């Protein structure tokens, strides 16, 4: 199961630009491992931007999907997996 969150989130990145930690629900989650990364092309006909998606595992045992929108230089916590 998973739940869509799709909210802005503060992300700390590593030297490679990948997420290293983020703040969620009043706490800080440290990324243990980036499990997968891919680019999603936005709906250009609606001026939707492209984004880079990361599926990450955290030190606390959580599994999340973080999205980075390069054009806007912002991060979203898109999904939390149960």
Provide CB contacts within 8 A for 67, sequence distance 6+: 40, 51, 52, 53, 54, 75, 76, 78
Higher pLDDT residue, 1 or 58?
Answer: 58
- The pTM assigned to this predicted structure is 0.90
- Percent of residues in the chain assigned helix, strand, coil, to nearest 5: 5, 65, 30
Domain locations in the chain as residue ranges: 2-81
pLDDT over threshold 90, residue 70? yes
Residue 43 has pLDDT above 90, yes or no: no
């Amino acid at each position: 199961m998973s739940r869509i969150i799709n909210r802005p989130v503060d992300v700390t990145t590593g030297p490679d630009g990948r997420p290293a930690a983020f703040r969620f629900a009043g706490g800080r989650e440290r990324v243990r491992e980036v499990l997968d990364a891919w680019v999603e092309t936005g709906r250009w006909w609606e001026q939707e931007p492209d984004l880079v998606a990361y599926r990450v595992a955290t030190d606390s045992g959580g599994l999340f999907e973080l999205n980075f929108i390069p054009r806007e230089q912002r991060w979203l916590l898109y999904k939390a997996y149960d």
